[in-house]
């Protein structure tokens, strides 16, 4: 099975019918670069757009990921080592 985030990314290339991640059956969480609560370029919170209220919050100032732009689209950039966001609840 292809993960839902792969399906969403594959459908954003302008081909086919309009698509939103909420079209996916069983969507648990949808995080988007456009739904971030920021402090400068640092992310304080990533709000869940799935309608399930599964927001993610910074653990500490020193471990916050940052925002970036890739191809004109806002993204969340993690350094792969220390930057994290913590789910607000157990899923």
DSSP 50-86: SSS---EEES-GGG--EEEEETTEEEEE--SSS--EE
Tens-digit pLDDT profile for residues 27-53: 989 888 788 899 888 899 999 999 889
Q: What is the pTM of this model?
A: 0.67
CB of 85 closer than 8 Å to CB of 57: yes
**What are 2's two structure tokens?**
């292809």
Over residues 9-13, mean pLDDT: 47
The separation between CA 49 and the C-alpha centre of its own chain, rounded to angstroms, equals 9
User: d(Cα 32, Cα 20) in Å, to the nearest integer?
Assistant: 12
């Amino acid at each position: 099975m292809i993960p839902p985030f792969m399906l969403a990314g594959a459908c954003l290339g302008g081909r086919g019918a309009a698509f939103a991640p909420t079209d996916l059956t069983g969507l648990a969480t949808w995080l988007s670069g456009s739904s971030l609560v920021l402090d400068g370029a640092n992310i304080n919170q990533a709000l869940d757009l799935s309608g399930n209220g599964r927001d993610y919050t910074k653990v500490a100032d020193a471990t916050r990921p940052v925002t970036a732009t890739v191809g004109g689209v806002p993204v969340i950039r993690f350094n792969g080592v220390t930057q994290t966001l913590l789910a607000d609840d157990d899923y």
